[in-house]
Amino acid sequence: MATDTQFGSASEDAIVSAGDEGPRERLLLWIDDHLKWLLTLPAVLVLFSLTFVPLLRALEISLHNYIPTGRRFVGIGNYVDLLSNGDFHTSLWVTFKFVVAAVGVEFLLGFAIALLLNKKIKLRGLWQTLILIPMILSPTVIGLIWRLLYAPSGLLDFIIGQPLLGQNVGWISEPQFALISVILTDIWQWTPLVVLVMFAGLQSVPDHIREAAIMDGASRRQRFLHITLPYLKSLIVLVLIIRVVDALRVFAKVYILTRGGPGSSTNVISMQMYRVAFRFSNYGEAAAMAVSLLVVVLILAMSFVKIAGVEF
């Protein structure tokens, strides 16, 4: 019976009948013979030429010094210079503070909210859809929204600045607040991601494990510490890796909110790279920073996986 079924009877023109071997049919047969490469090579080639090739160029550029009239090979000179470059060190420290504070709060807050969402509640789907919104907005729009909130006499001054401190706070114009404000914006944007991922994880904890623990008389806290947490371990590592790697390369938010200032108080590493490359045209030094950043990202990702003993 099954072989009698007519599939796609409406597509006569794609049917090649035996013995009718015109150039069109030969072409179709040739395409079929090489189909797997025809389908997959474009993607592989585009990605290869736009990721691997630039990566090699970045390595090469990092070994040169760029001057208006051309460039000069300096070996690892740019890397050696980085070791004693104060601006670079400051940007590393700023990035470190940003990543630890932002990802830390995002994870704890997001996990807590996911636990709440995991209770039997109504309109859960709608709630999940609505909290997606910050994640899909353009960094420019996010920067604009928060500039509006941080503006002198803006909403945050009305809620926090005036009642608590009796004055307007220079949220993004004073060095001691600027980084906190950038971090707050990142928390606003990315906590929902942690919520969605951790909630999906909580939902995947098999019922029979929970029920067995309840039968054994495990308390809520015991169940959380000894069943839920170990079960979610690899997911926790994964979400932390995703967020840390993403936070390490933060650029657009800082660019719109503070341009790295005031002074160097929010000058994260990508901002420093941007300044060096596109304001001072020092491509060699910027490329050396970029390569170093990539190495750091790789080491971090691998050690996270090692520490947690997670297998992908």
Query: By CB under 8 A, what part of segment 47-76 binds other proteins?
Result: 47, 50-51, 53-55, 57-58, 61
**Contact, 247 vs 186, CB < 8 A?**
yes
| Listed ranges 74-82, 97-105, 152-160, 173-181: which one lies at the site for other proteins (CB under 8 A) | 152-160
Give the interface size with other proteins as a residue count (CB under 8 A). 113
Burial call 75-104: b when 16+ CB within 10 Å, e when fewer: eebbbeebeebeebebbbebbeebbebbbe
In Å, how far from its chain's centre is CA 295? 17
Q: Which of 288, 297, 291 is nearest to 85 (CA)?
A: 288
Residue numbers 222-261 binding other proteins by CB under 8 A: 235, 238-239, 242, 245, 248-249, 251-252, 255-256, 259
Exactly one of 26, 35, 76, 280 binds other proteins (CB under 8 A); that residue is: 35
Task: For the CB of residue 209, give the shortest distance to other proteins in the complex, in Å.
Answer: 14
Looking only at residues 185 through 204 of this chain, which bind other proteins when binding is defined by CB under 8 A? 188, 192-193, 195-197, 199-201, 204
Q: Which of 228, 265, 267, 270 binds other proteins (CB under 8 A)?
A: 270
CA 77 from centroid of its chain's CA atoms: 31
209 binding other proteins? (CB under 8 A): no
Our finding on whether 165 is near other proteins (CB under 8 A) is no
Nearest CA to 191 out of 257, 254, 247, 249 is that of 247
Q: Which residue from 91, 228, 274, 275 is in contact with other proteins, where contact means CB under 8 A?
A: 274
Strand bridging mode 70-73 / 64-67: antiparallel
